[in-house]
Amino acid sequence: MTAHVVVVGAGTAGLAAAAELATRGATVTLVEKSARIGGTLHVSAGQMSAAGTKLQRARGIVDTPEAHFADAMRISKGTADSALVRRAVELAPDTLDWLMDEGFDLDPICPAILHFHEAYRAPRTYWGRAGGRSILAVLERNFARAQAGGRIDLRLDTRLTDLIAERGDVTGVRVAGRAGESEIRGDAVILATGGYGADRERFRALTCGHALFSACVPTSTGDGVVAAERVGARVDGGDLFLPTFAGIEDEPGSGRVVWDDLPQLTPQARPPWEIYVNRAGARFVAEDHPSVDAREHALLGQSDLTFWIVYDARIARTAPPLLPSWDTARLLAAFAQHPSFTTADTLGALAARAGLAAAGLAASVARYNAALVAGMPDQFARAHRPAPIAEPPFFAIRAHGIVLKTPAGIRVDDQLRVLADRDPVGGSPVGGLYAIGEVIGGSRLSGKAFVGGMSVTPALSFGRWLARRLTGGA
């Protein structure tokens, strides 16, 4: 049995690992950069996926981990790490059943088919009524029970500064906390530090120079990735970046996006009345395309992942709310003050104020309207076209492809051992060092796509499974 394990990061993966380790008899030092545990669960929607669960069987849904695996690889177009995906889907039903047994406050419509990400072919997506906070409630109770046994030393406001390596093996960590700098030794170190979506420069460096518009928590600065690289770990996956469709910058120039303020751009939930145009004023995708993957790949080709949602007075008056969380007063204030919100009495003035090519915008609107009036298909074969864009004033809202999880991360094998950067295909493990959660890279389990539930669920599953492995379990 491992005597002492250092877990860095008290988010989804780290909390699950630390509690399971302590319950199974190990002593744990849990290091957390923030002043509270929970990580991204405080802001995440907390979507999970699992096939072959008790809940599916109770509702007559026939599903299996093998079907889940095939669906995940289909959605990722084979770009995800197949060994890790297989491990994740095999562990997922036990994880979901465990959450339910622990009193998880499940949204009663689950399991469901969800269209915010590319849809599965079976209803195997789950979430809590309070989003990620529903999962956190279970983890906090579980962690408190484990901590009561006296085997967990929790250190909040403590940042990882480096890994300690001796003769190629990692034997501990260096941290900076409330009492200054210190070293913590361990028989194993588990990195669960999350991604790097709060660091613009690191994001550009690891993600092929893309602009960052982030809904990630402020502590997601890539500390674990940097520390692992220093001891020879391989970091990759940034080339598989795909933006989430889409969000609005909160404070101008901040690059920050508020998760709860996202516009409703999922056509299965709200068919679009507006058109989307790029800087040239040109449309670039069918706004009602049923595949969010297709829309996200189209957005990837736009400058700085930026586009404008354009509509008119009739649509503003008639359409279902584009921004469901915004009341009228807030929306009026945004159009009066926020540079991402523009209105004008003519399309030419709208283009000038929004920074769009006037000729391109005029041509796009004219072409869209003409096809609609003639009852002919438009250039993208859009199906939902309830009204032309013709009645002044006109409106444009600047939106961006956003980051909910970062694609690059530490390469691990199917035992979750960190691999050294000596072989671009395989690589040998770095002794004593493991990684779980977003620090291994969001693309590891989704590839160049978003495979629903393949972030939170594997973080929970891998944390608990690795803890069992390190303490002599299966």
**Averaged pLDDT, 261-283:** 96
Give every CB contact of residue 99 below 8 A, 6+ residues apart in sequence: 48, 135, 138, 460
- What pLDDT score does 3 carry? 73
**Hey, what amino acid is at 227?**
A
So what CATH class is 4-196+405-470? alpha beta
| pTM of the full structure | 0.94
SS3 235: strand
pLDDT tens-digit profile of 122-178?
999 999 999 999 999 999 999 999 999 999 999 999 999 999 999 989 999 999 998
The answer, yes or no, to whether the previous bond of 246 is cis (omega within 30 of 0) is yes
DSSP single-letter state for residue 403: B
Per-residue pLDDT for 427 more than 80? no
The Cβ of residue 54 has, within 10 Å, a number of other Cβ atoms equal to 12
13 has pLDDT over 50: yes
**Cα radius of gyration (the chain):** 24
What b/e readout covers 330-353, taking b as 16+ CB neighbours within 10 angstroms?
A: ebeebeeebebbbbbeebebbbee
Query: What is the pLDDT, as a whole number, of residue 425?
Result: 61
Domain spanning 244-402, CATH architecture: Alpha-Beta Complex (3.90)
With tokens 């950067």, the residue in question is 421
pLDDT at position 445 over 70:
yes
CA proximity to 95, closest of 455, 473, 344, 398: 455
- Split at pLDDT 50, 70, 90, the class of 312 is very high
- The whole-number pLDDT of residue 107 equals 97
What's the pLDDT tens digit per position in 53-72? 999 999 999 999 999 999 99
pLDDT digits (tens, 9 = 90+) for 187-246: 999 999 999 999 999 999 999 999 999 989 899 999 999 999 999 999 999 999 999 999
Percentage of residues in the chain having pLDDT higher than 70:
98
Token code pair at residue 27:
């002593």
Calpha distance 367→380 (Å, rounded):
11
β-pair partners for 429: 419
**Residue from 102, 91, 88 nearest 135 by CA:** 102
pLDDT, one tens digit per residue, over 373-411 is 999 999 999 999 999 999 999 999 999 999 999 999 999
DSSP per-residue codes, 360-375: HHHHHHHHHHHHHHHT
Evaluate whether 4-196+405-470 and 244-402 have a shared fold. no
Question: Residue 472's CB: how many other CB atoms inside 10 A?
Answer: 11
Q: Over the chain, what is the mean pLDDT?
A: 95
Token pair 């980051």: residue: 403
Least confident of 247-256, 277-286, 376-385, 452-461: 247-256
Please report, for the chain, the start and end positions of each structural domain, with discontinuous segments joined by +.
4-196+405-470, 244-402
CA angle at residue 161 from 466 to 218, to 5 degrees? 80
416: left (phi over 0), alpha (psi -120 to 50) or beta: left
At residue 1, the pLDDT reads 42
Residue 258 pLDDT: 83
Spacing of C-alpha 257 from chain mean position = 13
State mean pLDDT over 438-464: 97
State mean pLDDT over 84-105: 98
Tokens in use for 235?
A: 């970091």
Strands 169-177 and 409-410: unpaired
d(CA 210, CA 408): 13
Q: pLDDT grade, residue 298 (50/70/90)? A: very high
What is the average per-residue pLDDT within 455-471? Answer: 97
Q: Residue 254: CB partners within 8 Å, gap ≥ 6?
A: none
Which pLDDT value is given to residue 424?
Answer: 61
Token pair belonging to 249:
């910058």
